[in-house]
Structure 1
Amino acid sequence: MQFTIRDLLSIPLFSTAKLLSANNIISSQVIESVTVMEIPVEDFIKKNELVLTTAIGCGNNPDLFLTYVKDVHSSNAAGMAIAVGGHVQYIPEEVIEYCKSVNFPLIELPWEMRFSDILKVILEQLNSWEQQSIDKADTLQRELLKLYLDNYPLEEVLTFLSKEFQMEVELKYKEQIENDTIQQISETSYTDQPAIIRYDNGKFLQIVPISPLLDQSSSFLIFKSRKLNAKPISALILNNIVTILTLWIQKEMASMISKNKEKKEYIKTLLNGSWTKKEDFINQGEKFGFEVDLPYICIVGSPEKLKEFYIVHKKEHIHEMEKDFKRTFSEILENVSKKLNKHLIYTFKRDLTIIFLECKSSEADREVNHFLDMIDSYVKKNQLPTISWGIGENHTGNLMFHLGYKNARTALEIGRNHKGPGTRNTFASTGIYRLLISLSNNSMSTELMHSTIGAIAAYDKNNGLDLINTLSTYIYHQGNVSQTARALSLHRQSLLYRLRKIEALTNRSLNDPDDIFLLQLCLKLWSVRFENNDSYAVAE
Structure 2
Amino acid sequence: MGLTVKDVIQLPIMETSKVKCGKKLVNDKKVDWISVIEVPVENFVRKNELVLSTGIGCEDDPILLEQFVKDVIDSGASVLAFATGRYIYDIPERVVQLAEHYEFIIIEIPWEVRFGDILHTVFQEINKDKRWERQQAEGVRQELINCVLQEKGLQDISNILYKHINIPIVITDLLGEPRANCHFNKKMLNILNEEEDGQLQQIPPSGLLPEHPLSHYLDEYMIDHEMCFRLTISSNHRKQGYLIFQPNDRQDLTWFVMNVLEHALTACALYFVKENAIEMTEVRLKDNFILNLTKSSTEVTTQLISKGQLLGYDLTRPYICIVGEFQEQDLFEKKIKGSKDSPASSSLQSMNYYLQKEITSAGKLLHRRTMATFEEGEVIVFLEADHKPYMETANQFLDVIERRLKDLLTNVNLSWGIATHKDGHYAFYDSYHEAKTALDIGIQENGVGSRTFFSDTRINRLLMTLSQKKEIEEIVTDTIQPLIDYDKKRKTDLIYTFMIYNKYKGNVSQTARALNLHRQSLLHRLRNIESLTQLSLVDSDDLFLLELSVRLWMLKKNME
Q: What TM-score comes out, normalization by structure 1 length?
A: 0.69
Residue 467, structure 1, aligned to residue 494, structure 2: yes
Q: Secondary structure at the residue paired with 2:405?
A: helix
Q: Measure the CA separation in 2 of the matches of 1:320 and 1:333.
A: 21
Q: Measure the CA separation in 1 of the matches of 2:41 and 2:221.
A: 29
Structure 1 match to 2:151: 153
Q: Measure the CA separation in 1 of the matches of 2:391 and 2:318.
A: 13
Q: Measure the CA separation in 2 of the matches of 1:444 and 1:221.
A: 71
CA offset digits 1:413-432 (Å, max 9, x no partner): 32123212223222233333
- What amino acid maps onto 1:474 in structure 2? Y
Give the one of 350, 353, 358 matched to 2:379: 353
Structure 2 match to 1:76: none
Structure 1 match to 2:399: 373
Structure 2 match to 1:135: 135
CA offset digits 1:258-280 (Å, max 9, x no partner): 44443332222232365456333
CA offset digits 1:469-499 (Å, max 9, x no partner): 2222221221122222333333333332322
Q: Measure the CA separation in 1 of the matches of 2:559 and 2:175.
A: 42
Alpha carbons of structure 1 residues 254 and 493: separation in structure 2 relative to 1, 3 Å: closer
Shift of residue 453, structure 1, vs aligned partner: 0.9
Alpha carbons of structure 1 residues 267 and 202: separation in structure 2 relative to 1, 3 Å: same
Residue 303, structure 1, aligned to residue 303, structure 2: no
Q: Measure the CA separation in 1 of the matches of 2:313 and 2:489.
A: 61
Residue 329, structure 1, aligned to residue 364, structure 2: no
Structure 1 match to 2:344: 319
Give the one of 371, 378, 382 matched to 2:408: 382
Alpha carbons of structure 1 residues 351 and 365: separation in structure 2 relative to 1, 3 Å: same
Q: Is this contact kept in 1: 2:217–2:231, CA < 8 A?
A: yes
More off after superposition, 415-424 vs 229-238: 229-238
Shift of residue 281, structure 1, vs aligned partner: 2.5
- What amino acid maps onto 2:478 in structure 1? S
Q: Is this contact kept in 1: 2:322–2:419, CA < 8 A?
A: no
Q: Secondary structure at the residue paired with 1:450?
A: helix
Structure 2 match to 1:435: 462
Residue 109, structure 1, aligned to residue 136, structure 2: no
Q: Is this contact kept in 2: 1:18–1:109, CA < 8 A?
A: no
Give the one of 248, 259, 263 matched to 2:286: 263
Structure 2 match to 1:293: 316
Give the one of 515, 526, 535 matched to 1:508: 535
Q: Is this contact kept in 2: 1:392–1:406, CA < 8 A?
A: no
Q: Is this contact kept in 2: 1:293–1:397, CA < 8 A?
A: no
Q: Using the aligned pairs only, state the percent identity.
A: 26
Q: Measure the CA separation in 2 of the matches of 1:493 and 1:281.
A: 67
Shift of residue 512, structure 1, vs aligned partner: 1.1
Structure 2 match to 1:165: 164
Q: Is this contact kept in 1: 2:21–2:106, CA < 8 A?
A: no
What is the aligned residue count? 490
Counting only pairs closer than 5 Å after superposition, residues 191-210 of structure 1 correspond to structure 2 as 195=218
Alpha carbons of structure 1 residues 146 and 211: separation in structure 2 relative to 1, 3 Å: closer
Residue 392, structure 1, aligned to residue 390, structure 2: no
Alpha carbons of structure 1 residues 185 and 391: separation in structure 2 relative to 1, 3 Å: farther
Q: Measure the CA separation in 1 of the matches of 2:530 and 2:5.
A: 103
CA offset digits 1:54-113 (Å, max 9, x no partner): 9x98999xxx99xx97xx7xxxxxx6769897469669xxxxxxxxxxxxxx96215567
CA offset digits 1:136-186 (Å, max 9, x no partner): 2444566677778xx732339648836853868876543455793799799
Give the one of 343, 350, 353 matched to 2:369: 343
- What amino acid maps onto 2:150 in structure 1? Y
Alpha carbons of structure 1 residues 52 and 359: separation in structure 2 relative to 1, 3 Å: farther
Q: Measure the CA separation in 2 of the matches of 1:349 and 1:441.
A: 28
Q: Secondary structure at the residue paired with 1:422?
A: coil
Q: Is this contact kept in 2: 1:161–1:169, CA < 8 A?
A: no
Q: Is this contact kept in 2: 1:81–1:108, CA < 8 A?
A: no
Q: Is this contact kept in 2: 1:393–1:408, CA < 8 A?
A: yes
Shift of residue 446, structure 1, vs aligned partner: 0.9
Q: Measure the CA separation in 2 of the matches of 1:3 and 1:176.
A: 34
Unaligned 5+ runs, structure 1 = 20-25, 73-78, 92-105, 534-540
CA offset digits 1:343-368 (Å, max 9, x no partner): 33222212123322334341533332
Q: Is this contact kept in 1: 2:324–2:379, CA < 8 A?
A: yes
Give the one of 19, 22, 40 matched to 1:16: 22
Shift of residue 519, structure 1, vs aligned partner: 1.2
Q: Secondary structure at the residue paired with 1:414?
A: helix
More off after superposition, 346-355 vs 292-301: 292-301
- Which structure has the greater CA radius of gyration? 2
More off after superposition, 349-358 vs 133-142: 133-142
Q: Measure the CA separation in 1 of the matches of 2:270 and 2:193.
A: 26
- What amino acid maps onto 1:458 in structure 2? D
Q: Measure the CA separation in 1 of the matches of 2:290 and 2:45.
A: 58
Alpha carbons of structure 1 residues 471 and 224: separation in structure 2 relative to 1, 3 Å: same
- What amino acid maps onto 2:344 in structure 1? H
Shift of residue 34, structure 1, vs aligned partner: 6.9
Shift of residue 388, structure 1, vs aligned partner: 1.9
Q: Measure the CA separation in 1 of the matches of 2:225 and 2:403.
A: 40
Q: What TM-score comes out, normalization by structure 2 length?
A: 0.67
CA offset digits 1:319-372 (Å, max 9, x no partner): 369844334434433443443343332222121233223343415333322322
Shift of residue 524, structure 1, vs aligned partner: 0.9
Residue 418, structure 1, aligned to residue 445, structure 2: yes
- What amino acid maps onto 1:218 in structure 2? Q
- Provide the aligned C-alpha RMSD in A: 5.4
Alpha carbons of structure 1 residues 279 and 471: separation in structure 2 relative to 1, 3 Å: same
Shift of residue 32, structure 1, vs aligned partner: 5.8
Q: Measure the CA separation in 2 of the matches of 1:223 and 1:375.
A: 35
Shift of residue 395, structure 1, vs aligned partner: 0.4
Alpha carbons of structure 1 residues 431 and 125: separation in structure 2 relative to 1, 3 Å: farther
Q: Secondary structure at the residue paired with 1:348?
A: strand
Alpha carbons of structure 1 residues 455 and 334: separation in structure 2 relative to 1, 3 Å: same
Q: Is this contact kept in 2: 1:170–1:223, CA < 8 A?
A: yes
Q: Is this contact kept in 2: 1:379–1:385, CA < 8 A?
A: no
